[in-house]
Amino acid sequence: MNRYTWQTFILEAVMVLVGVLFFLPVYILVNLALKTPDDQSSPLAPVTNITFQNFSDAWSQANLGQALLTSAFVTVFSVLIIVAISALAAYPLARVTKRWSKWLFFVFMLGLLLPFQLALIPLYTTIRDLGLLGNPISLVLYYAGLQVPFSVFLYTGFIRAVPLDYEEAAAIDGAGPLRSFFSVIFPLVRPITGTVIILNVLHVWNDFLTPLLYLSGSSQQTVPVALFSFVSQYVSQWNLVFAGLVITIAPILIAYFAMQNTIIKGFASGLKG
Amino acid sequence: MSSAESRSLAVAEAAAPVPPLDRRTRKFTARRIGTVPWWFVVPALVFFLFVVLWPSVQGAAYAFTNWDGLSATKDFVGLAQFERLLKDPGGVGAVVHTLLIAFAITVVQNLIGLLLALGVHSKIKSRNILRVALFTPAVITPVATGYLWKYLMTPDGAINQLLGFFGLGALQHDWLGDADVALWSIVATVVWQFAGYSMVIFLAGLQGVPEDVLEASRIDGAGPFRRFWYVVRPELAPAITINLMLSIIGGLKLFDQVWVMTSGGPGTSTDTMSTLIYKNAFQFGDFSYGIAMALVLTAFVAILSTAQYKLLGKQGGTK
């Protein structure tokens, strides 16, 4: 079992082939974005004379600079709020054994079952009546509430596994509950904070339907919506479209390749159940 | 106390750990030193109530009215919106498409994800880079993968070119323009994107498979399938549950890829509940009909995910 046999070699060959096949669409995406529109070669043939014209055209025509800024604003602030309120809420839910704590946890978990489509339409009218349509702040508020159940779930499970001794020591040294939370609990649960951040950043950055509704008609669009309206205008100019796609997925891919181990572990550990 | 003293104290403590307090003493200690105050949950609860719980209750109520989303009046119409849905071929079609999509994605994505995980969880030298490569599509914005595959699937796109190159011209197709095939083309796109996601969760489960038991059963003459079924599968039970849950819910709610690839077309052949909710509520101004559909979707999500949890929960218990 521990030796590299000929069976292992065959498995290796098959898996590498599968890996290449899986990665092929990403290769085509980048390859085509670098080709000139009149380049008639097959999308699989490597680019011969590289052009960056598509990128600068896509950048200006899709207003991608603005979109990246809006997406960054929405992502950073909603994830900050999610982490703060979920970790804080999970602390009593994990530690207090009274009935209200169990009930509240159950109510939060109910949120995992409700599809966002149900709340989407009534919430849209509320946001509209508050005059927040077209304002990215509406998205920050939305994600902060939407992602609470899942994040509370992850934090509560993790805090339950932390031994009480640390808080007891802190309490004996005179720390109140807030101090205990910030100086003892929050630093101890750093691994799950990593998972919560990764999962929420990806969800908020990639989400399409909500920003499509809440920001429609305004000049501030998130990346997926800017991409959507850009492609609707330039349907058949695939070199241009692909350059736009490459620009918008670049921030995620760079972050992913830089921290692939942490990110993959974060996904796995958070979702193992 | 000098630092040397405290250090030796710490060493002594580490050497002879204090026996853990029993439950009752612990509870008592916790109460004596002050419990965690309830108001810590208030900020999260406020956001949750405002964004999820209250609008969901409102939504469930509006489904029984004829509200158009704008006018001040709304009348209670009972089950009329649901009767409309039953009589609307487009609505019934969307329900059928949604169930087909969720079922196909759940089966195919998890099967491929499991095979990939078993392949990567081995002695092959490329396992680390393969894991990274196979997971890459899962982090890409679904709108972007939708457009990427829309291009690959055009009549003169890369897929048909590849098929032609390998002499398989007979299999060439208008993948998104043919009403019989378009739904499955979307499923293929989603499976490509998230098979690596399933793989990563299965891989985490595979870490718990005891190597010595595998080795022992191999010596006892168990073939690869029996080894998988009796040694590996029980360890994978939690990973299977979470994977099925994620793909069922993801498949039922699918919107992004459908919207950018076909917008529900050709005709209504790829309309899902999510695209129809969007169309009805925000393009046709038929708010309460859209909400009635959302309520039906909610019922599907709740029933199917609870059912699979109950079913597999039992299986996991017999391990």
Compare B73 and B235 and report the one with higher pLDDT. Answer: B235
Backbone angles phi, psi at B92, to 5 degrees: -65, -40
B216-275 pLDDT per residue, tens: 888 888 888 888 888 888 888 888 888 998 899 899 989 999 999 998 879 889 999 999
Of the candidates A20, A19, A76, which has an alpha carbon nearest to the alpha carbon of residue A204?
Answer: A76
What six digits make up the tokens of B196? 């690596």
A113 and A28, same structural domain? no
Three-state SS for B200? helix
Query: Smallest CA–CA separation between A258 and chain B, in Å?
Result: 11
pLDDT for res B25: 52
Q: Is A169 on the interface with B (CB under 8 A)?
A: no
pLDDT for res B5: 40
Chain B residues 99-138 with CB within 8 Å of chain A: 116, 119-120, 122-127, 129-137
Residue at A1 is within a domain: no
pLDDT for res B210: 85
Distance CA B291, CA B63 (A): 5
Tokens 């092929």, residue located: A24
Q: Does residue A149 contact residue A89 with C-beta atoms inside 8 Å? A: no
pLDDT for res B224: 85
A97 and A25, same structural domain? no
pTM for the whole thing? 0.86
A170 and A112, same structural domain? yes
Cis omega (within 30 of 0) for bond into B266: yes
What six digits make up the tokens of B246? 């994620």
Residue at A65 is within a domain: yes
Q: Is A263 on the interface with B (CB under 8 A)?
A: yes
pLDDT for res B16: 42
- Percent of chain B scoring above 70 in pLDDT: 87
- Percent of chain B scoring above 90 in pLDDT: 36
Q: Which of A4, A6, A14, A15 should one mutate to test binding to chain B, selecting the residue with the greatest count of B CBs within 10 A?
A: A15
A91 and A25, same structural domain? no
A236 and A104, same structural domain? yes
What six digits make up the tokens of B7? 């250090």
Statement: residue B2 has pLDDT above 70 = no
Query: Smallest CA–CA separation between B157 and chain A, in Å?
Result: 8
Compare CB distances from A119 to B59, B132, B242 and report the shortest one's residue.
B59
Q: Which residues have CB under 8 Å from A132's CB, separation 6+?
A: A138, A141, A214
Question: In total, how many domains does chain A have?
Answer: 2
Compare CB distances from A15 to B120, B144, B301 and report the shortest one's residue.
B120
pLDDT for res B15: 42
Tokens 């040294």, residue located: A173
A167 and A225, same structural domain? yes
B115-140 pLDDT per residue, tens: 999 999 988 888 899 999 999 999 99
As to burial, measured by CB atoms within 10 angstroms (0-12 exposed, 13-18 middle, 19+ buried), residue B68 is middle
The CATH number for A246's domain is 1.10.3720.10
A26 and A130, same structural domain? no
A176 and A155, same structural domain? yes
A135 and A13, same structural domain? no
Q: Does residue A81 contact residue A140 with C-beta atoms inside 8 Å? A: yes
Residue at A266 is within a domain: yes
Domain hosting residue A37, numbered range: 6-51
A83-123 pLDDT per residue, tens: 999 999 999 999 888 888 889 999 998 888 888 888 888 89
Tokens 């360890």, residue located: B235
Q: Which of A16, A22, A167, A173 should one mutate to test binding to chain B, selecting the residue with the greatest count of B CBs within 10 A?
A: A22
Compare A105 and B26 and report the one with higher pLDDT. Answer: A105
A152 and A80, same structural domain? yes
Cβ contacts of A97-101, under 8 Å, gap ≥ 24: A97/B27, A100/B38, A101/B38
A118 and A24, same structural domain? no
Q: Is A152 on the interface with B (CB under 8 A)?
A: yes
A239 pLDDT tier (thresholds 50, 70, 90)? confident
Q: What is the CATH number of domain B83-317?
A: 1.10.3720.10
B33 pLDDT tier (thresholds 50, 70, 90)? very low
Contacts of residue B123 in chain A, CB cutoff 8 Å? 1-4, 8
A75 and A116, same structural domain? yes
Domain boundaries, chain B: 83-317
Number of residues that make up chain A: 273
Three-state SS for A5? coil
Distance CA A82, CA B177 (A): 42
Q: Does residue A163 contact residue A184 with C-beta atoms inside 8 Å? A: no
Distance CA A5, CA A12 (A): 11
Chain A residues 54-73 with CB within 8 Å of chain B: none
CA distances from B101 to A243, B149, B190, B271, B311 (A): 30, 17, 10, 11, 21
As to burial, measured by CB atoms within 10 angstroms (0-12 exposed, 13-18 middle, 19+ buried), residue A49 is exposed
A27-38 pLDDT per residue, tens: 999 998 898 888
Q: Which of A8, A29, A83, A114 should one mutate to test binding to chain B, selecting the residue with the greatest count of B CBs within 10 A?
A: A114
Distance CA A19, CA B29 (A): 55
Query: Measured in whole angstroms, how far is the alpha carbon of residue B208 from the centre of its chain?
Result: 23
As to burial, measured by CB atoms within 10 angstroms (0-12 exposed, 13-18 middle, 19+ buried), residue A194 is middle
What mean pLDDT value characterizes chain A?
88
